Amino acid sequence: MDIPKEKKHTTDVLLVQKHQIDNTQLKINEIENVFIEINSEIEIFDNFLDKVNQLVDSNHLRSSSTLDELLGELQSSKEDRTLHNKTLQHIDYINFNKEMSFDELHKVSVKYAEKHNIDLDCKDPFDELLSLSQKKEIQQRIKDDFTYKNAKCDKYDYMIASTCGLISGLIDILFVGVPGSSFLGKMVDDQANRITEKFASLMGWNKEKVIEKGGNTTASAIGFLEKKFKVNYDQATSHSTDNLVDHLSLNNHHLKSLAHSPDIIGLFFSILNQFTNTASFISTGKLITIKTENFELQGHNFIAKIFCGMANWFGHIMSDWTGSSGTVGQGRRGSGVPIPFFNLFQLMNFGEFGKHKQTFATITTKVFEEGYDARHGITMAVPVIINELLIRLIYTIKSKYYHNKTWNESLPKGSSPEVRRMLLVGHGALCLIDGADAALRSGGNIIQMLSRMNLIAWTRFSYIALKEVNAIYKQGHINSELVDDYLNSEIKLLLNYKY
């Protein structure tokens, strides 16, 4: 087995350390044997003294012949035993200190190995480092602690998970519903407006002046941020793109413009567009890039310009996530930015859905225009989070007080097969209720049905379902998540250890 140089040095040091540990254990055993012999001598001498004291107390020790007789017994018992008169030798060791580098430690280890005839060129050093019992113990621990296992859920676990899913599903039906007309949705919209106004105030916007003039504070804050974080990719109509982007409007340009996406894709295209004076859109399943007016980022060097581009992207997202300034006010909600990665649906320009035989990309555009934006995404996340927390909380309580486990063992870790199965059942129940409600209330209208469906819940359910299928397929194989968790905990212990 060819071992890289760095690993070879590590195994050399480990082999030398094992030799020192083995020698130390042998020396400890030798010392223990000497102490056993000494204790045996002490015990015999104590017995002799007890007999002498008994004779003295009983006045039987009246002549030297009696004492000589006892001494003879002591001498004969000594002759019957073999007491090894040994001189304990010092153990050879490596004088290690904190200032010593690893290379220095390796050099002195090699010298030690040459002195004691240690084979550092063995084919598999772990055969030398580990005993047979240690290998079996490690193999058993890997099997028990670091492999994919099938969930051992009882009927109560399934009842708990499905009940939590039912409760979350009812919350989704009653308080989420369609964009812009639900109880939770209005709360999220109001909070989003406050956040936008707060951010604008931090950037220098004066709210009091707008209130004095009787203007709409949210629209004013959005307009202020649009001017402060001006970008070159904010085209809002097909005409402004020379009709290269079909059906582009105020209600959907945040979806079709890739740089308006509040995710890594949006950040990438925003910086790219700002640097190259372009604007990138997705239309009819294709990526379309158009030239824009010259736009120069602030900053004296490349890194500074990248930072300014990121700040500009974030500031512009903050101006748009509650709607454009021209679409907010007078009871209008405004078209915000899409849910992260939702604009990728624009690439799926296939199929014939609904009464008008529209493609899936067109359908998702219509759904976005109905208000299915990032704010509604936050609203949809509420029942999903409640479902997740309920399942994990009840699992912890049941594990602690029903199965009598420790608090540490009861933690609802995602790598636990039982937790994973319960989350699958719980989110499955939530999606089942959500899908049934959307299908029944939509009346066969696919746009209305998708508008009512909880994309966050379906995404979470799909992710857990894939993990469960993967765990079943890899049952008995190494679970890298468990290994990473264990290594992270060990590294934390090492970092916190005080030498």
Whether the pLDDT of residue 481 is over 80: the answer is no
Q: In this structure, are 368 and 388 located in the same domain?
A: no
Rounded Cα–Cα distance for residues 175 and 477 (Å): 43
Q: In this structure, are 166 and 247 located in the same domain?
A: no
CA angle 429, 430, 436 (to 5 degrees): 90
* pLDDT value of position 117: 81
Identify the CA nearest to 88 among candidates 32, 30, 35: 30
Residue 466 CB contacts under 8 Å (≥ 6 apart), including other chains: none
Please list the residues that pair with 329 across neighbouring strands: 332
Q: Which of 46-60, 205-219, 323-337 has the lowest mean pLDDT?
A: 46-60
Please list the residues that pair with 332 across neighbouring strands: 329
CA 158, 159, 160, 162: dihedral to nearest 10 degrees?
80
Rounded Cα–Cα distance for residues 14 and 128 (Å): 10
Whether the pLDDT of residue 187 is over 60: the answer is yes
Q: pLDDT (tens digit, 9 = 90+) per residue, 348-390?
A: 998 888 777 889 999 999 999 999 999 999 999 999 999 999 9
**353 assigned to some structural domain:** yes
Long-range contacts of 138-147 (CB under 8 A, 24+ apart): 142/478, 143/476, 145/482, 145/486, 146/478, 146/479, 146/482, 146/483, 146/486, 147/475, 147/476, 147/477, 147/478, 147/479, 147/482
Q: pLDDT (tens digit, 9 = 90+) per residue, 67-85?
A: 566 666 656 655 555 545 5
Phi, psi of 2 (to 5 degrees): -75, 125
Q: pLDDT (tens digit, 9 = 90+) per residue, 133-158?
A: 777 777 777 776 677 777 888 999 99
Q: Which residue type, as a one-letter code, is found at position 278?
A: T
Q: In this structure, are 282 and 200 located in the same domain?
A: yes
pLDDT band at residue 1 using 50, 70 and 90 as cut-offs: very low
% of the chain residues with pLDDT over 90: 37
Q: In this structure, are 351 and 452 located in the same domain?
A: no
* pLDDT value of position 387: 97
Residue numbers of the domain that contains 171: 152-176+381-477
Q: In this structure, are 218 and 356 located in the same domain?
A: yes
**493 assigned to some structural domain:** no
Q: How many domains does the chain have?
A: 3
Strand, helix or coil at 148? strand
Could you tell me the sign of the dihedral formed by the alpha carbons of 354, 379, 327, 325, in that order? Answer: negative
Q: Which of 322, 344, 372 is the last residue of a domain?
A: 372
Are 255 and 266 in contact by the 8 Å Cβ rule? The answer is no
- CA distances (Å), origin 177, targets 156, 186, 379, 383, 449: 30, 11, 9, 11, 11
**218 assigned to some structural domain:** yes
Q: What is the largest CA-CA distance in the chain?
A: 134
**488 assigned to some structural domain:** no
- CA distances (Å), origin 439, targets 214, 228, 327, 365, 446: 43, 44, 30, 19, 9
Q: Using CB atoms within 10 A of its CB, is residue 298 exposed (0-12), middle (13-18) or buried (19+)?
A: exposed
Average pLDDT over residues 251-257: 92
Q: pLDDT (tens digit, 9 = 90+) per residue, 30-69?
A: 888 888 877 877 777 777 677 766 666 665 555 555 556 6
Rounded Cα–Cα distance for residues 289 and 245 (Å): 9
Are 360 and 446 in contact by the 8 Å Cβ rule? The answer is no
Convert 46-81 to b/e letters by CB count within 10 Å (16 or more is b).
eeeeeeeeeeeeeeebeeeeeeeeeeeeeeeeeeee
Average pLDDT over residues 167-185: 91
Average pLDDT over residues 173-202: 91
Are 221 and 197 in contact by the 8 Å Cβ rule? The answer is yes
Q: In this structure, are 172 and 209 located in the same domain?
A: no
Whether the pLDDT of residue 323 is over 90: the answer is no
**132 assigned to some structural domain:** no
Q: In this structure, are 461 and 341 located in the same domain?
A: no
Q: Which of 347, 372, 397 is the last residue of a domain?
A: 372
Rounded Cα–Cα distance for residues 360 and 344 (Å): 11
* pLDDT value of position 137: 76
**79 assigned to some structural domain:** yes
Could you tell me the sign of the dihedral formed by the alpha carbons of 306, 310, 311, 316, in that order? Answer: positive
Instruction: Count Cβ atoms below 10 Å from residue 94 Cβ, excluding itself.
Output: 14
Q: Which residue would you say has higher pLDDT here, 414 or 422?
A: 422
**137 assigned to some structural domain:** no
Strand, helix or coil at 163? helix
pLDDT band at residue 159 using 50, 70 and 90 as cut-offs: very high
Q: In this structure, are 293 and 424 located in the same domain?
A: no
Are 312 and 270 in contact by the 8 Å Cβ rule? The answer is yes
Phi, psi of 291 (to 5 degrees): -80, 145
The DSSP string of 420-450 is: HHHHHHHHHHHHHHHHHHHHHHHTT-HHHHH
**496 assigned to some structural domain:** no
**334 phi-psi bin (left φ>0, alpha ψ -120 to 50, beta other):** left
Rounded Cα–Cα distance for residues 180 and 190 (Å): 11
Q: In this structure, are 100 and 227 located in the same domain?
A: no
Strands (E), 222-310: 278-283, 286-291
Q: In this structure, are 235 and 351 located in the same domain?
A: yes
Instruction: For the chain, give the mean pLDDT.
Output: 83
CA angle 350, 354, 360 (to 5 degrees): 25
Rounded Cα–Cα distance for residues 218 and 200 (Å): 10
Global confidence as pTM? 0.72
Q: Which of 372, 393, 418 is the last residue of a domain?
A: 372
pLDDT band at residue 3 using 50, 70 and 90 as cut-offs: low
Average pLDDT over residues 120-144: 70
Q: In this structure, are 266 and 187 located in the same domain?
A: yes
Are 435 and 157 in contact by the 8 Å Cβ rule? The answer is no
Q: In this structure, are 415 and 345 located in the same domain?
A: no
Q: At what angle do helices 417-442 and 155-175 cross, to 10 degrees?
A: 40
Are 365 and 285 in contact by the 8 Å Cβ rule? The answer is no
